[in-house]
Structure 1
Amino acid sequence: MNIRTSLTLSLAAVGLSACVSGPPQGQYTRPVPQPQTAFSPVDGQWADANGIVSTFQNGAFSTRTTDGTNTLLASGNYTQQSDRLFEINMTSLVRKTQSRVNCALVTPTQLNCTSDSGGQFTLSRRG
C-alpha cells in the first residue's frame, strides 16, 4: 500500500467517525443533572427604617406588617441581575399598583433600593 492510499483511507476514517453524533441506536444516555442554586444572597428577612419586614425566598418576595396582624402589604418576585443587583417586581395590595424596584447588595446585611418612581430606601437583614 502506498502513502497516497494510506492517507486517503485515514482521512476517510476520520471523516466517517465525525458523522457519528450520538450513542448507538437503542441505547439511552442519562442526562447529567444540573446543580441547583436555590440560595440567593438576599434570601431571608429584611426590615426597612419603619420596621416593615420583607421576605425574599427562592424568587418570591413579600412584605408584611409587624403590628401583630402580619398583614400582607405587597407581594411579587425577584430576580438576580448580577452578583450584587436584584430586581423586584411587586404588587402593592394597599395602593393596588404594580412597581419595579432595583436593589444593590452593598454589604451582606444592607440592600439599597430605588423604586421605578425614584423613591429610595434601605433594607437591613434581620436575624
Structure 2
Amino acid sequence: MKLHRIIAIGALAGLLAACQSPSYSPRPIAVQPQGIEGQWVDPNGIISSFSAGRFETRTTDTNSLLAEGSYRHISDQMVEIELTSLLRQTTSRVNCALAGSSQLNCTSSTGAQFTLVRRV
C-alpha cells in the first residue's frame, strides 16, 4: 500500500511539473484586421489606403499620390468610394464589396471591375 501511495504522489508531482514547465512560452495571437481600414494593393502594385473616411492611392516606387477622396459604408460588407484622379482630373465613384478579411471586389461607375488585396 505504501508503494502505491509513493507511485501516485510521484505521478501527480510529474503532472504538476509538466504543467508549469519553464520552456512553455505562449505565442502572441495575430489579430486579423476587420473592415476596410488599412492598406490594400491592386494587381499593378498601386496601394490604396482607407483611414477614418479618407481614401487615397499611391505608387509603390515614388509614393506619388494618384487619387484621393472619401469613402462611406453602405453596409457591413459594402463601401462606396468617391475619388478624384489627380492624373486625369476626373471624379468617379467605385463600389467595393468586402469578400472576407483580405479581399475587396470593386466595380467602378463605368463598369470596370478590379480586386484589391489587403497589404500585410
Q: Same fold (TM over 0.5)?
A: yes
Q: Which runs of 4+ in 1 moved over 6 A?
A: none
Matched, 1:74 2:72: no
User: Structure 2: how far apart are the matches of 1:126 and 1:66?
Assistant: 12
User: Structure 2: how far apart are the matches of 1:106 and 1:113?
Assistant: 10
The TM-score with structure 1 as length reference comes to: 0.67
Aligned residue among 46, 50, 53 for 1:56: 50
The TM-score with structure 2 as length reference comes to: 0.71
Q: Quote how far apart the aligned CAs of 1:105 are.
A: 0.1
User: Structure 2: how far apart are the matches of 1:55 and 1:75?
Assistant: 9
Q: Quote how far apart the aligned CAs of 1:50 are.
A: 0.5
2:85 corresponding residue in structure 1:
92
Number of aligned positions between the proteins: 88
User: Structure 1: how far apart are the matches of 2:66 and 2:75?
Assistant: 27
CA deviation vs aligned residue, 1:31-72 (integer Å, no higher than 9, x gap): xxxxxxxxx7100000000110000000000000011x2100
User: Structure 2: how far apart are the matches of 1:99 and 1:110?
Assistant: 21
Matched, 1:45 2:39: yes
Q: Over aligned residues, Cα RMSD in angstroms? A: 1.3
Q: Quote how far apart the aligned CAs of 1:91 are.
A: 0.1
**5+ unaligned residues in a row in structure 2: which ranges?**
1-33
Give the fraction of aligned pairs with identical amino acids, expressed as a percent: 60
User: Structure 1: how far apart are the matches of 2:90 and 2:105?
Assistant: 22
Letter in 1 for 2:82: N
Q: Quote how far apart the aligned CAs of 1:119 are.
A: 0.4
Letter in 2 for 1:61: F
